Amino acid sequence: MSSSLKQQNRHIFSHIILSIWSLIVLFPVWVMIINSFKNRLSIYQNPFGLPAQWNIANYGTVLRDGDFLNYFKNSFIAVVCSLILLLIVGSLASYALAHWRARVSRWLYFFFIAGMMLPIKIASIKILELIRTLGLLNTVWSLVPIYVAMGIPVAIFVLREFIFEIPHELTEAATIDGAGRLGIFIRIIAPLLRPALATVAIYNLIPFWNDLWFPLIFISDDRSKTVLLGVTRLFGQFQTDWSKVLAVLTLSAIPVIALYLLMSQQFIKGLTAGAVKG
């Protein structure tokens, strides 16, 4: 009886900690959303309370007068193309490294993992020269190879370990049936990788979508700007219309939240894979 009571107390304590942490995480989101429905003066008067009058004109002004729909389109194209290419390249590279038994594969794996410790921003000048040489400057496509390079270390780290958990009997049976390496990957490995692929996609979605550094360096043309780069247009020299800024940020958070809700089940499976044995 006492052990069950202790276990129940532990569950209650963990739920309290998780609830407090949820409130801490959700509080900035709450402040952002409610202030996006206020005018500029109301934000300074009562930044944490509900608006006395809900003002949806901020969203209408942003969508009507600004070029933010184009910015959303540019961000969407850059992030989606980067994620698709990252998942394809990362899964193929992880599959190769997981089945390559040579000593070189281990060093190559550590070479990729080193990218998790070295921020890519330290090579911004060389990357800018490379993008200019490729003729991608001032285009959305300049962001795709950079984002893929940013996500490759985490993708290989997650996917390679996940592939190791797949029973070798499955691939051996497919080999006996005459399937080649690519056929085994497409028909057997790829369907089993869905939870891990969802984990990699969601993990990289937020830094890709919220990136301001590389768009600021690569893109000066208004037609190719991303959402966060477009938000900088709302910052004035002497004053800033925070209500419109928060309206844009609220709209920009919708795709991230929607993708997480759509892939949350696979994401949780990917995080808990291998946690339980037996």
Count of structural domains within the chain: 1
Per-residue pLDDT of 201-210, as tens digits, reads: 888 988 899 8
CA of residue 162 relative to chain centroid, distance: 19
Taking phi over 0 as left and psi of -120 to 50 as alpha, with beta for the rest, 110 belongs to alpha
> Which of 91, 116, 98 is closest to 194 using CA atoms?
91
Residue 224: phi, psi to the nearest 5?
Answer: -115, 5
Per-residue pLDDT of 150-185, as tens digits, reads: 999 999 988 888 888 877 777 777 777 777 777 778
What is the distance between the alpha carbons of residues 52 and 37, in angstroms, rounded to a whole number?
A: 10
pLDDT at 251: 84
Q: Which amino acid is at 167?
A: P
Per-residue pLDDT of 80-127, as tens digits, reads: 999 999 999 999 998 888 887 777 888 888 888 888 888 888 888 899
Instruction: Please indicate, yes or no, if residue 59 is contained in any of the structural domains.
Output: no
Instruction: Please indicate, yes or no, if residue 136 is contained in any of the structural domains.
Output: yes
CATH number at residue 242: 1.10.3720.10
Instruction: Please indicate, yes or no, if residue 199 is contained in any of the structural domains.
Output: yes
Instruction: Please indicate, yes or no, if residue 18 is contained in any of the structural domains.
Output: no
Query: pLDDT averaged over the chain?
Result: 82
Ranked by mean pLDDT, the top range of 35-39, 90-94, 240-244, 252-256 is 90-94
Instruction: Please indicate, yes or no, if residue 103 is contained in any of the structural domains.
Output: yes
What is the distance between the alpha carbons of residues 174 and 193, in angstroms, rounded to a whole number?
A: 17
pLDDT at 1: 46
CB 42 within 8 A of CB 51: yes
pLDDT at 116: 82
pLDDT at 139 over 80: yes
Instruction: Please indicate, yes or no, if residue 23 is contained in any of the structural domains.
Output: no
Instruction: Please indicate, yes or no, if residue 37 is contained in any of the structural domains.
Output: no
CB atoms within 10 A of CB 210: 16
Q: Which amino acid is at 105?
A: S
pLDDT at 239 over 80: no
Quote the domain boundaries for residue 218.
66-272
Instruction: Please indicate, yes or no, if residue 49 is contained in any of the structural domains.
Output: no
Give the pair of three-digit tokens for residue 213.
Answer: 């550094």
Distances (CA, A) of 197 to 10, 170, 209: 33, 20, 18
pLDDT at 278 over 50: no
Residue the block writes with tokens 């300049």: 142
pLDDT at 194 over 90: no
What is the distance between the alpha carbons of residues 145 and 131, in angstroms, rounded to a whole number?
A: 9
What is the distance between the alpha carbons of residues 240 and 270, in angstroms, rounded to a whole number?
A: 42
